[in-house]
Chain A
Amino acid sequence: MDTTQITDAPPPTDSPAPQARRKGPGRMGDKIFLGLSRGSGIFLLVIMAAIAIFLTYRAVLAINKDDGNFLTTFEWNTGIVPPKFGIAVLAFGTIVSSLIAMLIAVPVAVAIALFLTHYAPRRLRGPIAYVIDLLAAVPSIVYGLWGALILVPHLNGLFGWLNDYLGWTGLFAWDEGPARSLLTVSILLAIMILPIITNVSREVFGQVPQMHEEAALALGATRWEVIRMAVLPFGRSGVISASMLGLGRALGETMAVATVLSPDFDIHASLLNPGGGTFAQNIASKFSEADDFGRDALIASGLVLFVITLLVNGAARLIIARRKEYSGANA
């Protein structure tokens, strides 16, 4: 009611002068802002297209000369004649290590976020949140060094235990080498993506309308029931978005993986034995000695990572869109 009055017929008091002043530049500002934001949007699309075109062009150059099948060859040898390389092992390693990292990190991150928002004493919340922020700022090479020097020697116990009790599955068989396998990488990646998932989830859980929680409490819910019925459904799409941010980091992580993994071009049934590899790790370790052709081949593998990342983000958007009924807008 009030707003229509202001625009249609300004109140007779002292407001006309400021109103006029606001009107002119306001429209101009709108136009500039529209132009700017539209321009930025188009600019982003142009950059993406340029990257895709560059990658595709170089990739096609390399794949045309590939003697093996680019998708199924278990080998990466660009220096020999004829060159033979394929991404099967890299795709497998990238996806498996990221998925396991997610399986470990997401539950822990959600638990920490819930603890911080609903259980922790108020004066603990700030410091813990700061520490998590700091963890997110540690560069990945530092995680890599920590992983290689401290995590790897200390994982022998866990690997031995897994081998003793779950070795019969084949998935956790271990032949007592240093623990530099895909599972080690997954654990390290889980630690690396934990802060970002925790922080975003914490923000989301902090946004849960007080009314919902109070309503649930009024109906006699326990604190856990409040979380289950009010907090988690409200935060679900936020947690999914946070997880996708983490997954993005895990998929593209380079130096930490290169430092910790003992890569080879084979797919092993066991997660504990050394071997495998990821796209980013392979690019980092092969790039400096590669000739022009070798670089094109690495770029071709980079293109595949680009596509996988796009697919993952697309899938995440679909999931979030389907869960719209839980979002805050309808609350």
Chain B
Amino acid sequence: MKLQRKNRRALALGALAVSGALALTACGSDDTGSKGSDSSSSAATSNSSVKCDDAKGQLLADGSSAQKNAIDAWVKNFTQACSGVQVNYKGSGSGAGITAFTQGTVAFAGSDSALKPDEVTASKKVCSGGQGIDLPMVAGPISVAYNLSGVDNLVLDAPTIAKIFKGDITKWNDPAIVKLNPSAKLPDLKIQAYHRSDESGTTDNFTKYLKAAAPSEWTFSGGKAWQAKGGQSAQGSSGVAGGVKQTNGAIGYMELSYAKDGLNSVAIATGAATPVKASSDGATKAVAAAQVVGTGSDLSLKLDYTTKAEGAYPITLVTYEIVCDKGNKSATLPATKAFLRYIASTDGQGVLSGIDYAPIPDAIITKVRSTIEGLS
């Protein structure tokens, strides 16, 4: 009896260890793996341009998971040059990031959407004498990816995409799709349209595009939560990508870095001479058509989703870094400025296109740089 009990305890301990290890490894979130570190190490050769000044200590930041991989690549290069600084970015989501910022627990926050008026009001408590401002740092193309055997170069326009995602078009050989793809062999197969089940800046930007480019089809009010009924849904960009991969006849939207390994991206008929596929170059061109709508030193952008510019990919997401214009904590200000200065620099922005993000166009990033110099 005694022996048996001992065995049982050992077994329980073993089970605990195994399951614990499994649980820990399962905790990783939307991470597209080592791609970021590969390209950042190649970019690391040029990190002599990083100016550390008197930056040191720990820099805490939190927010958008959409830009996590970009920040990781930047942090790697930055801390190689400035070993005195430790940058710690938790990608727990834009909402969580802004909450952490307005509570004063982080030096800057990352967000997929600019601060709302009540969030600016809340930020005034943390930024003594100033307020929170948005600095556009990363653009990212959102790919509409599909899995349809035998069809490689699918072209869709905004009204058709809207109808597919709200369930008005249910078959791949629907006349509207055939009309845009006269040469493709489209099967008589049900379309499985995947959207995000969690709230997300990706959904927000995707539906903003549909609302702007197909206003008569997409009549929902928009926001981070998906509003149309029906269709399939999954958690996170990785969940959507996984679901589309598993199902022949599926289509979904996701950040470009997830649209690979058997997934094709839809080319969007924007009205330009040729339909545009999702690419980091195309995203930069689309952001170039954006307008700065922030007041004062705030640089929040209004994207032009209906742009017909050659090669501009309209379904693009911009993530901002949110800092105080005045009244940043004196302990972390040098490190914040040095880090932001690096990521806004030519080198910093140059890292992006290698990891499926897009650099901010010159006209806007120049304004970002001068704003960073003015932070206090």
Query: When A80-B223, A137-B19, A153-B246 are in contact, do A262 and B233 touch as well, CB less than 8 Å?
Result: yes
What's the tally of chain A residues with a CB closer than 8 Å to chain B? 42
9-residue interface stretch from A90-98, A100-108, A138-146: A138-146
Query: When A137-B15, A137-B16, A148-B242 are in contact, do A288 and B93 touch as well, CB less than 8 Å?
Result: yes
Q: Which of B172-213 contact A (CB under 8 A)?
A: 190, 192, 197-201
When C-beta atoms are compared, the residue in chain A nearest to B229 turns out to be A266
- B221 at interface, CB cutoff 8 A: yes
Neighbour of B19 across the interface among A75, A139, A265, CB < 8 A = A139
> How many inter-chain residue pairs (CB < 8 Å) link A and B?
113
9-residue interface stretch from A32-40, A174-182, A240-248, A309-317: A174-182
- B227 at interface, CB cutoff 8 A: yes
Most buried by B among A141, A258, A264, A288: A288
The digit string for A154-193, where 1 denotes a CB below 8 A from any CB of B, is 0000000000000000000001111010000000000000
B241 CB, min distance to chain A CBs, angstroms: 12
Is B223 touching A77 in the complex (CB atoms < 8 A)? yes
How far, in whole Å, are A126 and B226 apart by their CA atoms in the complex? 50
Is B26 touching A258 in the complex (CB atoms < 8 A)? no
Neighbour of A262 across the interface among B23, B65, B96, B232, CB < 8 A = B232
Is B19 touching A138 in the complex (CB atoms < 8 A)? yes
Query: When A177-B190, A289-B199 are in contact, do A294 and B95 touch as well, CB less than 8 Å?
Result: yes
- A43 at interface, CB cutoff 8 A: no
When C-beta atoms are compared, the residue in chain B nearest to A145 turns out to be B26
Query: When A130-B11, A288-B92, A294-B95 are in contact, do A274 and B16 touch as well, CB less than 8 Å?
Result: no
Category for how many chain B residues contact A: 35 or more
Neighbour of B233 across the interface among A138, A153, A175, A263, CB < 8 A = A263
Neighbour of B225 across the interface among A126, A153, A286, A291, CB < 8 A = A286
Query: When A153-B246, A266-B229 are in contact, do A80 and B26 touch as well, CB less than 8 Å?
Result: no
- B4 at interface, CB cutoff 8 A: yes
B residues in contact with A262, CB < 8 Å:
197, 232-234, 243
Query: When A137-B15, A141-B23 are in contact, do A180 and B8 touch as well, CB less than 8 Å?
Result: no
A residues in contact with B4, CB < 8 Å:
126
B residues in contact with A290, CB < 8 Å:
95, 199
B residues in contact with A78, CB < 8 Å:
225
Query: When A142-B22, A177-B192, A264-B229 are in contact, do A285 and B235 touch as well, CB less than 8 Å?
Result: yes
Is B232 touching A180 in the complex (CB atoms < 8 A)? yes
Neighbour of A139 across the interface among B8, B23, B221, CB < 8 A = B23
Is A178 touching B198 in the complex (CB atoms < 8 A)? no
Most buried by A among B22, B98, B224, B229: B224
Is B19 touching A286 in the complex (CB atoms < 8 A)? no
Neighbour of A141 across the interface among B26, B119, B231, CB < 8 A = B26
Neighbour of A133 across the interface among B12, B65, B95, B232, CB < 8 A = B12
List 13 A-B residue pairs with CB atoms under 8 Å apart, sorted by A's residue number.
Answer: A76-B225, A78-B225, A79-B223, A79-B225, A141-B26, A142-B22, A145-B26, A177-B232, A177-B247, A178-B247, A285-B197, A285-B199, A288-B65
